[in-house]
Structure 1
Amino acid sequence: MTSHEAPARAVMRRADGRPIQVLVVDDEPVLAELVSMALRYEGWDIATAGDGAGAIELARGNPPDVVVLDVMLPDMSGLDVLRRLREMQPGLPLLLLTAKDSVEDRIAGLTAGGDDYVTKPFSVEEVVLRLRALLRRTGVANDASDAQIVVGDLVLDEDSHEVTRAGDPISLTATEFELLRFMMRNAKRVLSKAQILDRVWSYDFGGRSNIVELYVSYLRKKIDSGREPMIHTLRGAGYVLRPPR
């Protein structure tokens, strides 16, 4: 890969330079794959298990750096799995997933040793952001510069959610921010409407490609208005974000 084809930002890695090892434990295959795909996109190595016994076996054979753990599993409580994993790796960071939303459930999960908590249904982007913050906080990975994506004079900060172009601040809605982040991470790559729908809206807007056109038009007005365009349409193919020439 030549230097001008490099990704828009560095991949978050372990302090020793190796890829982050993530163990995803969930008995819903579609959900587990959705989370895994998002984490592979981060450049991390992913292992998955559909039950507690499988998770413990995988962790014993290949100790993970962080775990995404569903509290409700078919063979045992996710909290029991958490305790077993912590016995093997006392400092192991864990992000809990649950369909329960009561204060008691949150307290039980965090008291059992979970480092963070996400309630279903959730955005995969939220899971990614929480894991990145968790990895920094626990010292598994510590790269402050990783929070920024830079393409030409366009800068997006993933932690502060601030966006600037040529130093000028740009105010975006949450969805506009996610769309821009996806396009910036894939700078110079043509992204189809289907890819954008799948990544930004998941399965909630399946088949409604007009929503992509609408939000791309919103971004253009904020990113490109009065400036050299960065967002381009390739008729019949999709959209591409390129730095100004």
Structure 2
Amino acid sequence: MKVFLADDSAMIRDRVAAMLATRAMDVVGEAETPQASIEGILAAQPDVVVLDVQLEGGTGLQVLRAVREQEPGIAFVVFSNNAGPAYRKRYLGEGAERFLDKTTEFDQLVTAVELASHHTH
């Protein structure tokens, strides 16, 4: 399974990549800005994108909308500290498969990515 990480924190990206590697998931790209994320995702064609709400210079919503418009088969798991009900509702409403809170649901990320991959293509 191919996974792309869109998060403004290199520490979080490294930690998530290490978690996914234990389950034979390949991280095919990483980015910290909306534009770099969109370009990277479209180039790498991952099965699942792990997406933060707050990116460097923009939001994950920009990425979600742009990618879903061009590649609706790519699944998104939103993984953020901004996990209030309004954020959850907006991202799930825009087509994200799952929305996890980094502070309380970190350990559920690998399972969420696995489940989201079954909804792709």
Q: Same fold (TM over 0.5)?
A: yes
- The share of aligned pairs that are identical, in percent, is 27
Does structure 2 conserve the Cα–Cα contact (< 8 Å) formed by 1:53 and 1:75?
no
Map of 1:66 onto structure 2: 48
Q: Helix, strand or coil for the counterpart of 1:24? A: strand
Structure 1 runs of 4+ with >6 Å offset: none
SS in 2 for 1:33: helix
Q: TM-score, normalization: structure 2?
A: 0.90
Q: Report whether the alignment pairs 1:37 with 2:18.
A: yes
For the Cα contact (< 8 Å) 2:54–2:60, is it kept in 1?
Answer: yes
Name stretches of at least 5 consecutive residues in structure 2 with no aligned partner. none
Quick one: which of 77, 81, 97 aligns to 1:95? 77
Flag the structure with more relative contact order, 1 or 2, with Cα contacts below 8 A and sequence separation at least 6: 2
In the other structure, the counterpart of 1:119 is: 101
Higher strand share: 2
**Number of aligned residues:** 120
Give the residue type in structure 2 aligned to 1:60. L
Structure with larger Rg: 1
Partner SS, residue 22 of structure 1: strand
- The offset of 1:75, in angstroms, is 1.8
Q: Give the letter for the 2:18 counterpart.
A: M
- After TM superposition, give the deviation of residue 101 of structure 1 in Å: 3.0
Give matches, 1:1-245, under 5 Å: 20-46=1-27, 47-136=29-118, 138=119
CA contact (8 A) 2:83 2:100 kept: no
Give deviations 1:32-52, integer Å, cap 9, x for gaps: 110011111211210211111
Q: Which runs of 5+ in 1 are unaligned?
A: 1-19, 141-245
Of the structure 1 ranges 68-77 and 98-107, higher mean CA displacement relative to structure 2 is found in 98-107
Amino acid at match of 1:25: A
Deviation for aligned residue 1:123: 4.8
Shift of 1:91: 2.0
Q: Could you tell me how far apart the structure 1 residues matched to 2:3 and 2:81 are?
A: 21
Q: CA shift at 1:100, angstroms? A: 2.0
More helix by share: 2
CA RMSD after TM alignment: 1.6
Measure how far apart 1:122 and its partner are: 4.1
- Asked if the contact 2:77/2:113 (under 8 Å) is kept, the reply is yes
8 A Cα contact 2:74 2:120, kept in partner: no
Relative distance call for 1:116 and 1:35 in structure 2 (3 A) is same
